[in-house]
Amino acid sequence: MEKQEQAPSSFERQLTPEEEKAVLINFMGSTYGEVKKLDGNIVSNSTSLGNRSDSIKQHIEQIVKSSTTNTTPVREQPIPVQAPAPIAPVPVQAPQIPLNSITEPVSTDNQLTFNFDTNEKAELFTLIEKILTRLDRLHRKVDELTLVHSDFIQTYRQAQEIVAKKKSASKGEASTKKEN
């Protein structure tokens, strides 16, 4: 059978009534704060979701007002906590690595070196120039398309006017023929 060890005396320390009251008020205060925040999230009247924080606040006020002499709670005997049996450490041996087997990492010639032969600034400027020329070409094409579109709209309106004139002229001839 396993040997039962007693819990440390700090686990069994009895709180004084003032300490117990302080711990209770601290717990209830933090609970009150959380419930008050949740009550603030309620947007409409509800029978089941009433302001619960008010009842907690009243209970805290009752505890604070009551004296420590008449509110001494009945305490139960603390239940001894059984600590787990200590486990004997098992020695583990680290693998032995011979010193001469460590090799240095292989590095290529271009690693960790700077190439000062190329001028990156000049390359960036040439790339920027290419982008700008392409952008300029696109701008010109858009300008051409807008000109063609405006010419098309103008021609379309003129054609509508001509068609409208022909229709009115043909209606006029038809009405003169009917009169004759």
Determine what percent of the chain is predicted with pLDDT higher than 70: 61
Which sequence spans correspond to the domains of the chain? 9-65, 118-180
State how far the Cα of 46 lies from the Cα of 48, in Å rounded to an integer. Answer: 6
Indicate whether this model's pTM tops 0.75: no
- Two structure tokens written together for 69: 């002499």
pLDDT tens, residue by residue, 76-113:
445 554 555 556 666 666 666 655 555 565 556 666 67
**In the prediction, which pLDDT does 74 show?**
47
Residue 167, CB-side half-sphere exposure with 13 Å CA sphere: 6
56 CB-near residues (< 8 Å, 6+ apart): 28, 31, 32, 35
The 10s digit of each residue's pLDDT in 22-65 is 888 888 888 888 888 888 877 777 777 777 778 878 877 887 78
SS3 109: coil
Of 70, 76, 69, 63, the residue nearest 23 (C-alpha): 63
